[in-house]
Amino acid sequence: MRRLLTRRGRRAVRSGLSLTAAALLLSACGIPSTGVVEAGEAATGIRPAYILYFVRQDTLLGVRSRVPGTFDIGTAVQLLFRGPDALLGRKGLTTELPPLAATPTVRANGARVWVELPRGTRPLTRTALAQLTCTIADAHLVVSAGSLSGGGSDTASPTRVTVTIPGVRQAEGSGETCPGSATAE
């Protein structure tokens, strides 16, 4: 019995030595060291997401939406006016925003954003204005935070949004009263 254990022990030691030798040989397999190799654009981390505000049972809910391409306030407005997709619609989310005949014009300067809706757009309800204002305020925050390294605007000031429709009274809103984003994704 003693001899059997010794043979097993020797085999284990030999196996361990063989594995160690193989590892040493493979670690110095002749691959030369290189300097920095350019391999494209640096990683940018997590891409921002839009928070689009829709309505469910008279309650405004912010829903996270992935960014298709460049992140800007105008794209957030266009996505909002498209309304909730089929999945969000099945979850009871709707919109009070009217359909648009053309793309809105969006301008921003500091903490102020101006949106001009196309002529002929029907006046916005209070809820529709809140949907638009909150979506713009969240998008403005992301855009401003991204531009701070280059001397961007002050993100501490609340976003003031002015919405105009040619021939209709203008409306103003602020991002100060917007609810947080929901989990209705």
* pLDDT (tens digit per residue) in 138-184: 999 888 876 654 444 445 678 899 999 998 877 877 777 787 644 34
Per the structure, the count of domains in the chain is 1
Nearest partner of 46 among 26, 76, 66, judged by Cα: 66
> Would you say residue 11 lies in a domain?
no
Q: Say what the pTM is.
A: 0.67
For the stretch 34-54, pLDDT in tens is: 554 455 555 555 667 889 999
Residue 27 lies in a domain: no
Contact (CB, 8 A) for 80 and 131: yes
Dist. CA 128–CA 60, nearest whole Å = 10
Tell me whether residue 24 is in a domain. no
92 is a domain residue? yes
Residue 143 lies in a domain: yes
Q: For the segment 63-111, what is each residue's pLDDT rounded down to a tens digit?
A: 998 766 778 899 999 999 999 999 999 999 999 999 998 999 999 998 8
Structural domain boundaries enclosing 84: 49-177
75: Cβ contacts below 8 Å, ≥ 6 apart:
50, 67, 68, 69
Residue at 14 is within a domain: no
Mean pLDDT within 120-134: 92
Residue 86 lies in a domain: yes
Q: Is residue 4 part of a domain?
A: no
